[in-house]
């Protein structure tokens, strides 16, 4: 591995830097949550769309609605553990994802999420800091106890 890029200080971060930073812990949170939900372990989980079992490190956090727009990028109900094939090769496998969302959350919630796709929202550094702290805590807690948090 080569030398890492010089780290910018947080004061210089763009919204993309903040998003990348939070995404790392958020993705861990989502995969851990769904491992516990689907297998009762922290090491294995089922892909939300093909239902096959994968190890934690072979799962990705995949969006129900493609495009990663700001209002839904970090919406927990929009993101679930997915395998590489479903998330990348099959572009999110949206027909199966759509059916899952209907069953899991109900049609009304699905419609609301689709509407949110078009909403732009401003996220502040404070919001990112607070969210990061929460997800860092939640990941620790779930790893330690093997139980879901906040439900």
Using CB under 5 A, list all residues that contact Zn ion: 47, 49-50, 83, 86
Smallest separation (angstroms) from Zn ion to the CB of 27: 16
Structure tokens of 73? Answer: 């990028």
Under DSSP, is residue 50 helix (H, G, I), strand (E, B) or coil? Answer: coil
Which residue's CB is nearer to Zn ion, number 42 or number 87? Answer: 87
Smallest separation (angstroms) from Zn ion to the CB of 54: 8
Question: Tokens 């851990």 — which residue?
Answer: 32
Smallest separation (angstroms) from Zn ion to the CB of 10: 36
Smallest separation (angstroms) from Zn ion to the CB of 48: 7
Which residue's CB is nearer to Zn ion, number 22 or number 35? Answer: 35
Which residue's CB is nearer to Zn ion, number 84 or number 132? Answer: 84
Which residue's CB is nearer to Zn ion, number 96 or number 149? Answer: 96
Structure tokens of 80? Answer: 């679930």
Buried b (16+ CB within 10 A) or exposed e, 19-57: beebeebbbbbbbbbbbbebeeebeebbbbbeeeebebe
């Amino acid at each position: 591995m080569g030398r890492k890029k010089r780290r910018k200080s947080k004061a210089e971060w763009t919204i993309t830097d903040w998003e990348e930073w939070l995404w790392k812990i958020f993705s861990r949170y989502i995969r851990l949550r769904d491992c516990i939900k689907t297998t009762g372990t922290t090491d294995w989980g089922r892909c939300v769309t093909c239902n096959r079992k994968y190890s934690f490190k072979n799962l990705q956090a995949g969006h129900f609605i493609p495009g990663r727009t700001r209002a839904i990028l970090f919406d927990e109900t929009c993101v679930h553990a997915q395998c590489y094939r479903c998330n990348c090769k099959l572009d999110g496998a949206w027909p199966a994802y759509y059916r899952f969302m209907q069953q899991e959350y109900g049609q009304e919630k699905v419609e609301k999420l689709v509407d949110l796709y078009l909403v732009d929202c401003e996220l502040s550094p404070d919001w990112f800091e607070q969210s990061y702290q929460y997800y860092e805590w939640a990941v620790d807690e779930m790893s330690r106890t093997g139980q879901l948090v906040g439900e």
